[in-house]
Amino acid sequence: MTVFHSQKAELNGNALLAALQEAALAAGRVIMRYYEDGCAVYSKEDQSPVTEADRAAEAIILAALATAAPQIPVVAEEEAAAGRLPAQLGRKFFLIDPLDGTREFLKRNGDFTVNIALIDNGAPVLGLVYAPTRNLLYLGGPDGAVELHTNAGHEAQQARMIAARIAPPDPVAVCSRSHRTAQTDRFLHGNRLDQFISVGSSLKFCMIARGEADIYPRFGPTMEWDTAAGDAVLRAAGGMTATFDGVPLTYGRRADGTMGGFANPDFIAYGAGGMPVFAGR
């Protein structure tokens, strides 16, 4: 088994990251069973879908975190939707989206991921994004970013370091597959971003992190658990996620004991070389 090593991470970082890696792969394994066999679908209060796969994957990750880092609070999407949020976050906490891209899961297009992130003082310092249909696990931390391949049993195989690129003269944008807005289209057109790819879930961050794309503008609602893991991978690869004012996206600063306190502002993710200059929003 290949494990991404981080000598700088606290809490005996290698052991923690190994536990998170195994949790992400185990969650991917159970999600794929539901993907292949089918599962029940429910509606949350905001009318967004949630499936048995979401809940089963979240249970696996929460159990792993309770063993590996019981002292660190956890904010998980389905727990938050049920009103179960930590009374206090503190400087460090985990953000979990057990199945990012539930709509893509239901459409059966493969664009969904398992997201696990560790936040420290508002910044995503450790992130894992597992795309089980692609057999790719992305990891980001103090030592850089890694793309790790898995086999048919979702077991870790070979790994390679990845890095974001400096945008070429004709940058490639990535956009949400299911949540693209008119404002996104105006931004693309106004900045002559003629090359763009539509993809679901946190894979957009990973495409920039691996040098396959350059810009991800996002307008409209997202939650911190949607973005934190992919953002951590991107930052580890040399990129950044920021508001349109150029301020790095922060996590947990608006937490007020409700789900709404974990909503993100509009943001833009980009590769190496700093934030490009754009015409309007």
Query: Which residues belong to the annotated binding site for substrate?
Result: 77, 99-102, 226
Q: Which residues contact 130 (CB under 8 A, 6 or more apart)?
A: 24, 25, 27, 28, 113, 114, 136, 137, 138
Q: Which residues contact 77 (CB under 8 A, 6 or more apart)?
A: 54, 58, 96, 97, 98, 223, 225
List the binding residues for Mg(2+). Answer: 77, 97, 99-100, 226
List the binding residues. Answer: 77, 97, 99-102, 226
Cα gap 271→41, rounded to integer Å: 36
277 sits in the region (left: phi over 0; alpha: psi -120 to 50; else beta) called: beta
Cα gap 242→183, rounded to integer Å: 17
With tokens 């961050």, the residue in question is 205
Cα gap 57→114, rounded to integer Å: 8
158 in Cβ contact with 2 (< 8 Å)? yes
